[in-house]
Amino acid sequence: MKDKNPIVAICPGGKFTVNHWAVDNYVSVLSVLRKDFDAAILLIGGRSERIMGEEILRRVGDSIINLIGKTTYMETAEVISRCNLLISNDFGPAHLAAAVGTPVVGIYSSRNFPRAWHPWGNNHTVLRNDTLPCRFCFRTECETKECINSITAEQVVKVCKEYLEINFSHHQ
């Protein structure tokens, strides 16, 4: 494994807009992972995430593979199983990754109770902000999305590097 570059899947969407992390943040994270690890980046998700995927592609160029809306549920599971890491909001692919043994870096709003919808298992890290008075609001939409927007690209990069440096430290 150490003689290959990591493959990282990113799922930028989610059922509820309150769970959508900003495209700018995803662009920042994948740029660092490409620079520091020469990571191959795959975008995954359903048809409803196409606009987010197209925006990410527009911003970082065509060197990433956009599979958003192009794979079935089972094909997505197969793709994730071949990845070294999945970065995802609170959305189905995070659970697919857990099912196929791929570590997840989850970016979660604090609309639900902690661990209520986290990927199953211990090989995952979920970043969320439970310090806000509006936590556990159970809302599906939010004007400020302060809880998820308070998670920084730097926090996500730090966790991703912890996973990837184990097997791919020669790329630094």
pLDDT at position 48 is 85
Residue 10 phi/psi, 5-degree rounding, is: -125, 130
Task: Please name the helix (run of DSSP H) or strand (run of DSSP E) that holds residue 37, with its range, or none.
Answer: helix 23-37
Q: Who contacts 13 (Cβ-Cβ below 8 Å, separation ≥6)? A: 20, 45, 46, 48, 49, 52, 68, 89, 91
Q: Which residues contact 143 (CB under 8 A, 6 or more apart)?
A: none
Residues 6+ apart with CB under 8 A from 131: none
Q: Which residues contact 132 (CB under 8 A, 6 or more apart)?
A: 110, 146, 147, 150
In the chain, where do the E strands start and end?
7-11, 40-43, 65-66, 85-89, 104-107, 125-127
Taking the C-alpha atoms of residue 102 and residue 123, their distance in angstroms, rounded to an integer, is 8
DSSP state of 58: H
**Going residue by residue through the chain (172 aa), what tens digit of pLDDT does each one get?**
444 889 999 999 877 777 788 899 999 999 999 999 999 999 999 888 899 899 999 998 778 999 999 999 999 999 999 999 999 988 778 889 999 999 999 998 776 656 665 667 788 888 887 787 676 666 677 677 777 888 999 999 999 999 998 877 654 4
Question: pLDDT at position 171, please?
Answer: 45
Q: How many residues belong to the chain?
A: 172
Domain 7-171 has CATH 3.30.428.10: no
CA neighbor of 160 nearest in space, from 86, 57, 80: 86
The β-bridge partners of 7 are: 40
DSSP state of 123: S
